[in-house]
A and B are shown apart, each in its own frame.
Chain A
Amino acid sequence: MSSVYVVGADLIKFGRYPNRSPAQLGAEAALLALDDAGLTIRDVGALYVGSSFNAASMMGQQILQQIGQTGIPCVNVSNACASGATAFREAMIGIMSGLYDVALAVGTEKNPPGMLPSRKTEGPPPEGLFGSGTMPAVFAEAGMVHSAAYGTTIEQFARVSVKNHYHATMNPKAMYQRETPLEEVLASEMIAWPLTKLMCSVNVDGAAATVLVSARKARELGLSRAIRVRGSALASDPWEAHNPVMFDANSVTRLAAAGAFEMAGVGPQELDVVELHDCFATAELLHYENLGLCGEGEAGALIDSGATTLGGRVPVNVSGGLLSKGHPIGATGVANIVEIVQQLRGEAGARQVDGARLGLAHVLGFGAAAAVHILEKA
């Protein structure tokens, strides 16, 4: 199988951009990534764009209208929170196929304001009548299964927010760069037990982009800053007894992780740095176990130990994560990969994980889709 390398990666600062379109945000990220690679849009053979809410508006073509209508094929992807990672993976597959030497993968989003709904249904609005379909309630219920099985406490879930908000103070592109002590996280507005407001991800606008190239092109450009894609897997939710009445964040993530580890020929104990889908604080603890960072039932102890904080054994979400960097749905999957690329290059500044050589990026889309990518310093 031919190798694929990431030679350009960047993102715009996550925040609110009321006067700019998602295409403009995506175009800015695309130019940043091309500049990072030392390439131009004329070098790009294909464009893949992830945008959960905006893909149907021919987002890729709109981006090219901003940066150069070179006539290349555009693939527009909507795959919930996995949209960006799906676009990245399709770009990788395009290079692996031998069709393209250079592909651009962009994730861009302007989220609708407020709490994001799940599915529309017939009959009277189901919210409150038949439990809750809000995302905080869905991930609260997912966390309470872990709590019932292993005694995981609200303090342990809250420590995820403390950690990721701390990490974000070192990321100038994060939406929030302010520490939140445990007492503050616990005292913020209760949304759905055990999730307080500070344990829910930040609903923001944003865009991120990566330039992927073939081995031949990478050698031509020079490998000093190139990052190799060692493993890639995308999964849909396999059958599980409660799914889809109850969202199953676990099986789909485990399926994608197993595929990516197998392709990479490495195990979770070899990872130096991880960006995972902390859409809610409960989710991060579930994914410690789903990704094999600890054994079953040990996630609470892992966060307590400090192993996933910068300076620990396997730092998780050093970018600040979705909780503090922000979660522009379709951009998140690309942004997670950008963070891993910057870490493996040793260019992550104050939040640099010392000597990081192997990293993992994970996202999880409601509905469900999970993507896992394993990257390595070339």
Chain B
Amino acid sequence: MTTSVAVSPRPATGFIRVGEDAKPWITGFRCMDCGAVATEQTLACRRCTSRSPLQEFRASARGRVYSWTVVQRSYPGIAVPFVSVIVELEDHLTLKGTLRVADHDSVHSGMPVRLVFDDAGGALDPEGAPYVGYHFVPFTGDEK
């Protein structure tokens, strides 16, 4: 018998954080002077140039589609088609992501969506650890 050892997944992209309980979240940074938000901890606020430390926060998992496209041709080896979306989260953080939706014709600007964490397509890092990624799904209002 083998004993499975819990390996903490690694963020597949810079602004995913993984807690000690292996639960991930999206991290954002807010300027306390002007309120601008970003997924990157910059040296100063990129909007107002304030050097007051940015406040880190856990981003909302809900938002709306700001823009989108259905990608029919991508780099060689990338499975198509898929829906690429720019999402404005409830706390104004902007994320790019893939929207998993059966009916591509239903995608529209303003569409409510929910962020779901995933295994980043099953990719492993060079040491064999799994990644944690995310995608979006339509938000129907039924979810808790």
Contact of A144 among B11, B78, B109 (CB under 8 A): B109
- Interface residue B92 (Cβ < 8 Å from any Cβ of A): yes
Q: Provided the pairs A134-B74, A145-B109 are in contact, do residues A129 and B12 lie with their beta carbons within 8 angstroms? A: yes
Judge whether A246 and B86 touch: CB under 8 Å: yes
Judge whether A124 and B131 touch: CB under 8 Å: yes
Bound CA–CA A140/B96 (angstroms): 14
Q: How far is the CB of B95 from chain A (nearest CB, A)?
A: 6
Q: Provided the pairs A123-B10, A123-B13, A148-B109 are in contact, do residues A128 and B82 lie with their beta carbons within 8 angstroms? A: yes
How many chain B residues touch the partner (CB < 8 A)? 45
Q: Provided the pairs A144-B109, A192-B84 are in contact, do residues A127 and B66 lie with their beta carbons within 8 angstroms? A: no
In the complex, how many residue pairs between chain A and chain B have their CB atoms under 8 Å apart?
127
- Interface residue A131 (Cβ < 8 Å from any Cβ of B): yes
Q: Provided the pairs A123-B131, A239-B46 are in contact, do residues A128 and B68 lie with their beta carbons within 8 angstroms? A: no
Q: How far is the CB of B62 from chain A (nearest CB, A)?
A: 17
B45 to A, closest residue via Cβ:
A239
- Interface residue A120 (Cβ < 8 Å from any Cβ of B): no
B37 to A, closest residue via Cβ:
A241
Judge whether B72 and A190 touch: CB under 8 Å: yes
Contacts of A136 in B (CB 8 A): 73
Contacts of B125 in A (CB 8 A): 123
Q: Which of A127-182 contact B (CB under 8 A)?
A: 127-134, 136-137, 140-142, 144-145, 148
- Interface residue A117 (Cβ < 8 Å from any Cβ of B): yes
Judge whether A145 and B120 touch: CB under 8 Å: no
- Interface residue B141 (Cβ < 8 Å from any Cβ of A): no
- Interface residue B121 (Cβ < 8 Å from any Cβ of A): yes
Question: Which of B12, B84, B94, B121 has the most chain A CB atoms inside 10 A of its CB?
Answer: B84
Judge whether B74 and A141 touch: CB under 8 Å: no
Judge whether A141 and B94 touch: CB under 8 Å: no
- Interface residue A183 (Cβ < 8 Å from any Cβ of B): no
Bound CA–CA A254/B13 (angstroms): 32
Q: Provided the pairs A129-B98, A129-B133, A245-B94 are in contact, do residues A123 and B68 lie with their beta carbons within 8 angstroms? A: no
Contacts of B32 in A (CB 8 A): none
A148 to B, closest residue via Cβ:
B109
- Interface residue A242 (Cβ < 8 Å from any Cβ of B): yes
Contacts of A239 in B (CB 8 A): 36, 46-47
Binary contact readout A88-117 vs B (1 if CB under 8 angstroms, 0 otherwise): 000000000000000000000000001101
Judge whether B75 and A245 touch: CB under 8 Å: no
Contacts of B120 in A (CB 8 A): 123-124, 129
Bound CA–CA A117/B42 (angstroms): 24
A191 to B, closest residue via Cβ:
B73
A124 to B, closest residue via Cβ:
B123
Q: How far is the CB of A329 from chain B (nearest CB, A)?
A: 18
Contact of B69 among A121, A122, A123, A140 (CB under 8 A): A140
Contacts of B60 in A (CB 8 A): none
Contact of B96 among A134, A189, A245 (CB under 8 A): A245
**Beyond A123-B14, A130-B97, A148-B67, 4 extra complex contacts between A and B, CB < 8 Å:** A128-B74, A129-B121, A190-B73, A241-B36
19 contacts between A and B (CB under 8 A): A123-B120, A124-B123, A128-B71, A128-B98, A129-B120, A129-B133, A131-B86, A131-B98, A132-B71, A132-B74, A137-B69, A141-B84, A141-B86, A191-B72, A239-B36, A241-B36, A245-B86, A245-B94, A246-B66
Write the residues of chain A forming the contact surface with B, with a CB cutoff of 8 angstroms. Answer: 114-115, 117, 121-124, 126-134, 136-137, 140-142, 144-145, 148, 189-195, 239, 241-242, 245-246
